């Protein structure tokens, strides 16, 4: 059976993606995988089934379930009142950058069956952080500096995971049992490491010993977008942070992130944000008010 790859793009000005789930209706997220570490945290109610590489879990209020990168997983919930949960997605690249490693980092972080007293305390610390992250995320529209707090919480989250939950010599189950997952991960890793270079279908195909035609079909089939849509999504994500957090010119940002020119950057940017990079930067920084430096 084949499972879809999911492209995870982080939120605007901090290095995580946070999703709030508050529907009372039944829901099912089919089996998929991605190269981000995923944390499921139940605030109230329950998640009836979380499938992770052949294992099944049921989580309730206060439970934390971490899904390692490249693990095949799915979620299903029945109809129920008062259910609220958050998903936190941490790109593997962000974790690797902070441990100076090119290898995947794995964690053992599922609180459901935990009995060790020390681990209880570690999970309590992680739970407190996730609650703060959730509250700050919900309040970000009322705080022009929330992105700074969210960024600091992002680093603290990775710190806690590395300090208390990192496991050594652990391969991610299911990775080698699906050859196309391994190939696709190698390709997406290559793009994420070289997005700022001039990339073409032919050049990437040559790196992996594939024909351009096969690579094109393979990528669309398993990722659900074209190779260049993926490349531009990565370039846009990385360039957005620089646009918001530096005074670099738009043309400099475009060229440093693999776009051939400013026009190309603006076209890709406008498809997502409906305005040009210049307009978005001006509008967003104007919201900070006169007492805050640009």
- Rounded to 10°, the helix 277-286/227-245 angle is 40
Quick one: pLDDT band at residue 176, thresholds 50, 70, 90? very low
- β-pairing, 64-67 vs 27-33, is unpaired
- Structural domains of the chain, ranges and CATH numbers in brackets: 4-167 (2.60.120.10), 195-286 (1.10.10.60)
Question: What is the per-residue pLDDT across 227-247, written as a single tens digit (0 to 9) for each?
Answer: 998 899 889 888 988 898 889
- Lowest-confidence range among 5-19, 20-34, 212-226? 5-19
Rg (CA), the chain: 20
pTM passes above 0.85: no
Quick one: pLDDT band at residue 163, thresholds 50, 70, 90? very high
**pLDDT at res. 3:** 57
- 37 or 24: which leads in pLDDT: 37
Burial of 67 from C-beta contacts in 10 A (0-12 / 13-18 / 19+) = buried
Q: How far apart are CA 248 and CA 227, in angstroms?
A: 28
Return mean pLDDT, the chain. Answer: 85
Task: Judge contact between 192 and 93, C-beta under 8 A.
Answer: yes
Task: Judge contact between 257 and 239, C-beta under 8 A.
Answer: yes
- Rounded to 10°, the helix 146-160/117-138 angle is 160
Question: What is the per-residue pLDDT across 110-143, written as a single tens digit (0 to 9) for each?
Answer: 999 888 899 999 999 999 999 999 999 999 889 8
């Amino acid at each position: 059976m084949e499972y879809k790859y999911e492209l995870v793009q982080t939120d605007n000005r901090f290095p995580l993606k946070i999703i709030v789930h508050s529907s009372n209706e039944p829901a099912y997220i089919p089996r998929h995988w991605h190269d981000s570490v995923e944390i499921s945290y139940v605030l109230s109610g329950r998640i009836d089934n979380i499938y992770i590489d052949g294992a099944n879990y049921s989580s309730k209020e206060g439970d934390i379930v971490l899904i390692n990168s490249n693990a095949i997983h799915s979620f299903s919930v029945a109809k129920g009142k008062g259910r609220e949960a958050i998903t936190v997605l941490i790109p593997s690249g962000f974790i690797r950058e902070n441990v100076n490693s090119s290898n995947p980092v794995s964690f053992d972080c599922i609180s459901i069956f935990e009995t060790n007293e020390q681990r209880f305390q570690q999970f309590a610390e992680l739970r407190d952080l996730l609650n703060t992250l959730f509250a700050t995320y919900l309040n970000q529209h009322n705080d022009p500096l929330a992105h700074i707090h969210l960024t600091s919480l992002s680093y603290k989250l990775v710190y806690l995971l590395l300090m208390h939950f990192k496991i050594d010599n652990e391969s991610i189950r299911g990775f080698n049992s699906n050859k196309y997952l391994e190939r696709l991960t190698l390709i997406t890793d290559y793009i994420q490491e070289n997005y700022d270079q001039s990339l073409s279908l032919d050049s990437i195909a040559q790196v992996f010993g594939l024909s351009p035609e096969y690579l094109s079909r393979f990528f669309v089939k398993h990722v659900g977008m074209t190779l260049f849509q993926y490349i531009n999504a990565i370039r846009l994500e990385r360039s957005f942070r620089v646009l918001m957090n530096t005074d670099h010119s738009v043309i400099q940002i475009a060229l440093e992130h693999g776009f051939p020119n400013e026009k190309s950057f603006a076209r890709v940017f406008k498809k997502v944000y409906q305005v040009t990079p210049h307009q978005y930067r001006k509008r967003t920084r104007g919201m900070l008010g006169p007492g805050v430096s640009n």
